Structure 1
Amino acid sequence: MNIESMPTYDQSEQLAKATAGVAAFAAKRNDRWYPLDHIASDGGWINDPNGLCYFKGRYHAFYQLHPYGTQWGPMHWGHVSSADLVTWRREPLAMAPSFEAEKDGVFSGSAVVSDDGKLVIYYTGHRWRNGVNEDEGNLQEQCMAVSDDGVHFEKKGVVVPCPDDRILHFRDPKVWKQGDEWRMVFGVSTPEHKGEIWMYRSDDMVNWTFDRPIYRHPDPDVFMLECPDMFPLGDKWVICYSAMGLEPKGFQARNHNNAGYVIGSWEPGGDFHQETDFHLWDDGHNYYAPQTFQAPDGRRLVFGWMAPFTQPIPMEDDGWCGQFTLPREVTLAEDHLRTRPIREFAELDKDKRDFGPIELGVNESRDLVSDALTADIQMDIDLSSSQAERIGLELHRTPNGDHTLVCYDDQLERVVIDRHCNTYGDRGYRTAPVDKSAGSLKLRIIVDRGSIEVYVNDGLEVMSSYSFPADGPRAIRLITESGEGKAMITSLSIATPDTIWEGTGR
C-alpha cells in the first residue's frame, strides 16, 4: 500500500472552503427548475453517483461535486443520507482534494462495509499530466478512505497505482465481497486506446492484485468504459459501463456518451461470458454513470446521473447544475433489465386524482391539471382499440405554448419524449420501443420542476430527460394527433409527490 502520508492541503480546511462555496450558490439559487423529488446539491455542479450503500441504519448517496462553479471542475464528494429512501437530509461534504495523487480531483468510486464494521470508500485520485488540463491525458490511481460513522473520512492513500505510464484513463473503482475475497473493477483505456474493464482482488482490502481484463469492448471506436459496475442478479451477472466513443446508430446511443449493460455468466477465477447484446439503461436525453447497490432486503437499486451533456444548460445560470434520477429497483426481464421507481416513492404521493377511462376523438385535447410542479402520472392506453397516430400528454405546458410531449407514436411503434416546443435548453426527441402485439401500453411518468422520467410497461424501458418550462403555470394536457379514429385511455391518474428534502415541506 502506497500511503502518501504528507497531505498537500489540510483536509478540514479544504472541506470548510468547499462548504462555503456551496452555501454561496445556495443563498442566491433560482429554484424555478430545482428538483423537489430528485437528489441535487444545494449549489454548484454535480455529476456521478458515488459510494451508494446502506450503513448503520441509513442509506448513503455521495456524488461528484464542484463546489465553486456550475460547470464541471475540481471534483469533491457531496453527501446525502436517508433512513427510508424517501426523505433525504444533507450531510457534511465528505472529501476534498488534499494530497498529491488527488490534487486535481477526488474522482468517482464506491463504498463497502468492512468485516470490522467500517465504511470503506474506494475512489480515483486524479491529476492532470500537464498540470492544467486533459490535453496530455490523466494520471489516475485508486485510493482508499475509511469512516466509523459514515460521515467523516480518513484517507489512507493509494492502493492501486497505475501500472503503465501510457495509460491515460484509469478510474472509477467498484468494490464488492465475493466469498472470502474482495473484488474491484474499474475502467481503463489501454495504451492502444481500447476501452476495457479490469478486475483486481484482495484478501485484506488493502493489498490488491491484478486478476484479468474482465471485459473488453468490441467496438474499436470505444476508447474508455467509465463508471463500470458488476453485480449478480438472479442466476446471471451484469456488467454495466458508460461508453466513451460509441457512435449513434438509428435510435440507439444518441447522446454524447451512453450508459448500458450486458448480461452473462461468471465464476470467480474465470472469464465473464457475455450472453446478451449491449442494452441502454435509459433511452432519454440525459442519463449517465449509473451505480447500483444492494439494499438490506436484497433488492438491487440504482441511481443514475441526469447528465446535461448538450449546450445550452440553462440551470447553470441558476446557481446549481445536475441531479440524480429517482432510485430504481433492478430486476431481470429475460435478456435485459427492468428498472422502475422504488416502491417507497409512492409514499410521497398526495392528492391523487382519477381521470379515466377517457375516450378522445381525432386531434382532440383535454386539460387535466392547470399547474403542477411535480406529478406522478399513471396511464394505460388500449392500443388495440385506438386509431390515433399519437396519444400522449403535454407536460410543463406554459401559457406561451411551451411544453414537452410524452406520447405513443403508432408509426414508430415507440414511446416518444419530444422537446421541440421548449424555449430553454436542448431540444430534440428520444424514443423507446414498444411491443404493440400486447395490445396495451402502460406508462408511469414522474414530473419534477425541471425533469421528466418515463417508465414504459413497468420499466421494461425508461427515458429520463430534462425539461425546463417557461414562466407561468405548468399545465398537463391530454392530446391525440391524426389517425383514423378515437383514442382509448383505459385508466389515468395523477398524484402530487411531496418533496424528498427533510424538514423543508414544500
Structure 2
Amino acid sequence: MNSLMLIIVILLPLCFGADNYSWYPTFHFSPPKGWMNDPNGLSYYNGYYQAFYQYNPYDTESGWMHWGHARSTNLLKWEHLPIALTPSLPEDIDGIFSGSAVVSDGNLILMYTGVSGNSTHQAQCLANSTDGINFDKLGLVLKKNGSDLNFRDPKVWKQGDSWFVIIGSKTDDDRGEVLLYQSLDLKSWDYQGVLAQADETLGYMWECPDFFTLGDKQILLINPQGMEQNGYDYQNLYQTGYFVGTWQPGEQYIIEKGFKEIDHGHDFYASQTFLAPDGRRILIGWLDMWESVFPERQEGWAGMLTLPRELTLSLNGTIEIRPIREVEDYRTEDVVSNNSVTLNDDSIFVLKEQVTSNEIIIELDPVKSNASTYGVRLGDEDQGVFVYVDTEKQRLFVERSYPQFNISRSDRSVAVDLSNPIYLDIFVDSSSIEVFVNDGESVLSSRIYPTELQRSLAVFHSEGSVTVNKYSIWNI
C-alpha cells in the first residue's frame, strides 16, 4: 500500500431532521459516515489503543466490507485514521471480514478473513504495519481443508514460544464449532483440532470467537447463530456468550461452566477483548443487532460500539462486567443526592429534564418498596425506554418502544435479588442505553431513539410506593 497521510476527524454532532437533532453519539464510537459492525483488531500499539471495525464507507447498509481504523489514548475519545484494509487481493476481493491484531517484533500484525468467489470462499490473511497507520498486505496464510464457506474471524494470541489462533466455523451437519491452529511465525499454521463444538441447542455457526484467561480459567467467548429462545434467554436474532473452562497447549479444552450470555440487552453482538497495558481484560462489542432498524441511516451513518468494559472472574466462576474506570475522568457533576426518596400513589419524580450524554447511578430499595413495578424511564408513559423491577417476576427489565421508527414495544431482562438494594449504573448517549447491574453482576445494552421531547428522566412506579436510597447524575 502507498503511504497515507494521517487524517484526524473530529466527531461533532450532526444536524438532521425538523427538530435539528441528531442521534450521533457523544462518548460512543461510531463511523464518520457509512455502515459499521464488528469491532476488529482491538489492541494497544505505539502508545495508543487501536480499534478496527467492519466498515462500508459507501453506504449505510452492510456491503463491501473494509476495515475502518481509529485510535485513542483513553478508550473514550477516538480519532479516525485512514481505512486500514481495502479489498484488493484475489483472496479478499469480495470483502475484508473480521479478525484480530497482535504486536510482533515491534510491528502491528492484522489477521483477517478474506472473502472471495461471491463470498463462498473464506480464508485467513495477514497485513503488517510499522507505524500503526499504514498497512501492507502479506496475503493468504491459512485455508481450511474441505469446504471454506464458513471459516472466519481469527483471534490470535501468543503463549510461550508459539502463536495460536482460533477460527469460527461449522460442522458438515450444521453445528457451530471453533477450530484451533498453532504457528511459530504467524505464517505457517498447523491444525490442532476442534477446541469446542456445539450440541443440538447451541446453533449452526459460531462467529467471532475469543479465547482468553481470567484468573486461573480460560474463557471461550462465541457468537452462536441459530439458537432458539429459551424463556427470557436468547431473545435476539443471534447471541453472544461464553464458556468457562481450563486449557493448556496440547490438551483438550475442558468446559466447566456451560454457555452464558454476556449481555442481555436488545443490541449486542460480535464482541472482542484485548489486554490493556495495565493487565485489564477489556471488552468492546457491536451495540446493534442484525435485525435492528437503524433509524440513524437518515443521518448518513449506521452502527456503533459499546462503552468499553472491564472483565473479571467472580468467586462463583461467572464473568463480572463493569464500565472502564476511565469514564470517571469525564464526569461533570450535575445532580447528586445521598438522601432517600420515597414516592407514594401514582406520583413520578423527575431526576433530570434533558438526558443526552449522561451517567446515572441510582439505588432502588426493594425491601422498603411495595409497588409491584418501579424504576426509571426516559420518555413518557407510552414511548421511550423503561428500566424497571418487576417484583412478581423478580427481574429487572429494559423495555423500549419507538413506534414512529418501527421499533415496537419489547423487553429484555435479568434476574435480581429483591432482598438487597439494586444498584444501577446507567449510561445514556444520544441513541443508546447501557445498564450495569449490581457492580458487575450483569449488563443490558440497547439502542434507543428518543426525540428532544422524550429526554426527561423520571422515577415511576405502579400502585404502592418505591424508595430510592440515593442517586447521582453526571454529564459525560
Same fold (TM over 0.5): yes
SS of structure 2 residue aligned to 1:162: coil
Report 1:342-381 matches (<5 A). Answer: 342-355=324-337, 356-381=339-364
Deviations 1:106-127 (A, max 9, x none): 110000001x111111000012
Report 1:7-406 matches (<5 A). Answer: 32-114=22-104, 116-127=105-116, 129=117, 131=118, 138-164=120-146, 166-219=147-200, 222-333=203-314, 334-355=316-337, 356-395=339-378, 397=379, 402-406=383-387
Q: Give 1:474 deviation, angstroms.
A: 1.4
Corresponding residue number in structure 2 for 1:487: 466
Q: Which amino acid in structure 2 is aligned with residue 67 of structure 1?
A: P
Q: Give 1:257 deviation, angstroms.
A: 0.5
Report the Cα distance in structure 2 between the residues aligned to 1:305 and 1:220, rounded to whole angstroms: 24
SS of structure 1 residue aligned to 2:298: helix
Contact 1:66 1:76 (8 Å CA) reproduced: yes
Contact 1:362 1:388 (8 Å CA) reproduced: no
Deviations 1:130-175 (A, max 9, x none): x3xx6xxx200000001011111010001101211x3420000000
Q: Which amino acid in structure 1 is aligned with residue 342 of structure 2?
A: E
Contact 2:202 2:224 (8 Å CA) reproduced: no
Contact 1:404 1:422 (8 Å CA) reproduced: no
RMSD: 2.2
Report the Cα distance in structure 1 between the residues aligned to 2:402 and 2:102, rounded to whole angstroms: 45
Q: Give 1:316 deviation, angstroms.
A: 1.7
Q: Give 1:271 deviation, angstroms.
A: 0.6
The change in CA–CA distance for 1:147 and 1:440 in structure 2 (over 3 A counts) is same
Contact 2:155 2:166 (8 Å CA) reproduced: yes
SS of structure 2 residue aligned to 1:385: coil
Deviations 1:206-228 (A, max 9, x none): 11110110010112661110000
How many residue pairs match? The answer is: 467
Contact 1:422 1:468 (8 Å CA) reproduced: no
Q: Which amino acid in structure 1 is aligned with residue 231 of structure 2?
A: G
Q: Which amino acid in structure 1 is aligned with residue 294 of structure 2?
A: I
Which deviates more from structure 2 when the two are superposed, residues 211-220 or residues 144-153? 211-220
The change in CA–CA distance for 1:152 and 1:187 in structure 2 (over 3 A counts) is same
**Which of residues 431, 445, 448 in structure 1 aligns to 2:429?**
448
Q: Which amino acid in structure 1 is aligned with residue 228 of structure 2?
A: E
Report the Cα distance in structure 2 between the residues aligned to 1:86 and 1:323, rounded to whole angstroms: 13
Q: Matched residues, percent identical?
A: 38
> Unaligned 5+ residue runs, structure 1?
1-10, 498-506
Q: Give 1:422 deviation, angstroms.
A: 5.0
Contact 1:86 1:348 (8 Å CA) reproduced: no
Report the Cα distance in structure 2 between the residues aligned to 1:47 and 1:146, rounded to whole angstroms: 23
Q: Give 1:29 deviation, angstroms.
A: 6.7
Report 1:403-442 matches (<5 A). Answer: 403-420=384-401, 422-427=403-408, 428-437=410-419, 439-442=420-423
Report the Cα distance in structure 2 between the residues aligned to 1:460 and 1:488, rounded to whole angstroms: 22
Report the Cα distance in structure 2 between the residues aligned to 1:277 and 1:191, rounded to whole angstroms: 23
Q: Which amino acid in structure 1 is aligned with residue 319 of structure 2?
A: L
SS of structure 2 residue aligned to 1:103: coil
Q: Which amino acid in structure 1 is aligned with residue 87 of structure 2?
A: P
Contact 1:402 1:470 (8 Å CA) reproduced: no
Q: Give 1:300 deviation, angstroms.
A: 0.2
Report 1:451-490 matches (<5 A). Answer: 451-472=432-453, 474-482=455-463, 485-490=464-469
Report the Cα distance in structure 2 between the residues aligned to 1:205 and 1:402, rounded to whole angstroms: 52
Report the Cα distance in structure 2 between the residues aligned to 1:450 and 1:227, rounded to whole angstroms: 25
Which deviates more from structure 2 when the two are superposed, residues 424-433 or residues 287-296? 424-433
Q: Give 1:12 deviation, angstroms.
A: 5.4
Report the Cα distance in structure 2 between the residues aligned to 1:33 and 1:62, rounded to whole angstroms: 22
The change in CA–CA distance for 1:196 and 1:300 in structure 2 (over 3 A counts) is same
Q: Give 1:352 deviation, angstroms.
A: 2.9
Contact 2:269 2:285 (8 Å CA) reproduced: yes
Corresponding residue number in structure 2 for 1:3: none
Tell me the TM-score normalised to structure 1 length: 0.88
Report the Cα distance in structure 1 between the residues aligned to 2:370 and 2:269, rounded to whole angstroms: 36
Q: Which amino acid in structure 1 is aligned with residue 279 of structure 2?
A: G
Contact 1:29 1:320 (8 Å CA) reproduced: no
Report the Cα distance in structure 1 between the residues aligned to 2:79 and 2:401, rounded to whole angstroms: 36
Contact 1:146 1:153 (8 Å CA) reproduced: yes
Q: Give 1:193 deviation, angstroms.
A: 2.2
Report the Cα distance in structure 1 between the residues aligned to 2:16 and 2:157, rounded to whole angstroms: 38
Q: Give 1:340 deviation, angstroms.
A: 1.0
Report the Cα distance in structure 1 between the residues aligned to 2:437 and 2:229, rounded to whole angstroms: 22
Report the Cα distance in structure 2 between the residues aligned to 1:76 and 1:425, rounded to whole angstroms: 29
Contact 2:27 2:76 (8 Å CA) reproduced: no
Contact 1:377 1:444 (8 Å CA) reproduced: yes
Report the Cα distance in structure 1 between the residues aligned to 2:201 and 2:456, rounded to whole angstroms: 46
Report the Cα distance in structure 1 between the residues aligned to 2:24 and 2:170, rounded to whole angstroms: 35
Report the Cα distance in structure 2 between the residues aligned to 1:108 and 1:367, rounded to whole angstroms: 43
Tell me the TM-score normalised to structure 2 length: 0.94
Q: Give 1:471 deviation, angstroms.
A: 4.4
The change in CA–CA distance for 1:353 and 1:119 in structure 2 (over 3 A counts) is same
